[in-house]
Structure 1
Amino acid sequence: MSDAQNAVNIVSNFLEASMAPDPELAATYMAPDVVIIFTGGRDMETPHAITHFNAGRYAWVKKALGQFDWTVHEDHIVVYSNGTLYGEWPDGRPFAGNRYLDRYEVREGKITRMDVWNDSAEWILTPELNRQS
């Protein structure tokens, strides 16, 4: 297996664990000093912080994984995951088709940086953007 495919597998396994949600398992795919920057530029200390943040924003949320792209650098591999979010807002309204893009840096078999972007804030501010699909 190539280094790039191994990095994609690490990210894919992390995403599956984080959607369970199983922050303990998710943390095993991350370096101890991982940098996590979430939507709005929020620093997250651990995968547990992601779970806590999502619990306040959504009744529940999952990712419909799209494709993975990667680029190989001298000392790490960058993996991009894109797709859509689906779930339920805290008031019980369902949603789907909420775009996301995640960027991961993988070094020596661990995620060392994670950046997350999605449309949730826009959809919260302008509910009519919520497209059911």
Structure 2
Amino acid sequence: MPIVELHVLEGYKPDEKQRLADAVTRAVRFVVPAAPELVTVMIHDMPAQDYYRGGLMRQPAAARPDPAEIVRKFLAAMEARDLDQARGMLGEGFRMVFPATAPMTTLEELIDWSKPRYKFVTKTYEGFDAMQGAGDAAVVYCRGTLQGEYHDGSAFAGIRFIDRFEITDGKITKQDVWNDMAETRMTTAEGAV
């Protein structure tokens, strides 16, 4: 039964501490084979007037935004075609790679690439997995299925996908996409012959 105690400068909101406790619980379970309810996390708030580093009183840094929530909002904005909102969520040097494409750096490139492929596409999400990457970027994987309509009016559904995002300083800097659309389209075309 692992017990983890954390000391943080006071000032973090309850939902931010909840995210911290959840992340620590998952980190412990990555190594220790314990059920979540057996991992105890205790967070102790340290008053700023009782905390000094380098001989100076310190203030807490602002909590980072939830990277999974950033991805959810970005994908919702893209599906709603609110490109201004989606564009505002992209960081400097943003790039994305979809199946069989060179890296794209703008949402307009993505839209131009997708126009001849299908009339529209939506996503059903099975889950979001967020973790801290080795560097400064948080990594979020989302997975689920695609559905939509081709230009000939035929519908598609149940096409598996995985998107991998990197988030740095609250902005999306990278998106990699994998899906079975080409394989599904090829199988459908072969069945129609």
Question: What's the TM-score bracket when you normalise by the shorter of the two chains?
Answer: 0.7 to 0.9
Matches within 5 A, 1:1-133: 1=16, 2=19, 6-73=66-133, 74-127=135-188
SS at match of 2:177: strand
Structure with greater strand share of residues: 1
- Specify the structure having the higher radius of gyration (Cα): 2
Indicate the RMSD between aligned Cα atoms, in angstroms.
2.1
Unaligned runs of 5+ in 2: 1-15, 20-62
| TM score, norm. by length of structure 1 | 0.88
Distance across 1 between alignment mates of 2:184 and 2:126: 20
Greater mean deviation of Cα atoms: 92-101 or 5-14: 5-14
May I ask how many residue pairs the two structures share in their alignment? 130
Q: Could you say which structure has the greater relative contact order, defined with CA pairs below 8 angstroms and 6 or more residues apart?
A: 1
Unaligned runs of 5+ in 1: none
**8 A contact 2:98–2:178 mirrored in 1:** yes
Identity level (%): 36
Q: Report the CA distance between 1:97 and its aligned residue.
A: 0.3
Q: Report the CA distance between 1:60 and its aligned residue.
A: 0.9
1:129/1:123 Cα in 2 relative to 1: closer, same or farther (>3 Å)?
Answer: farther
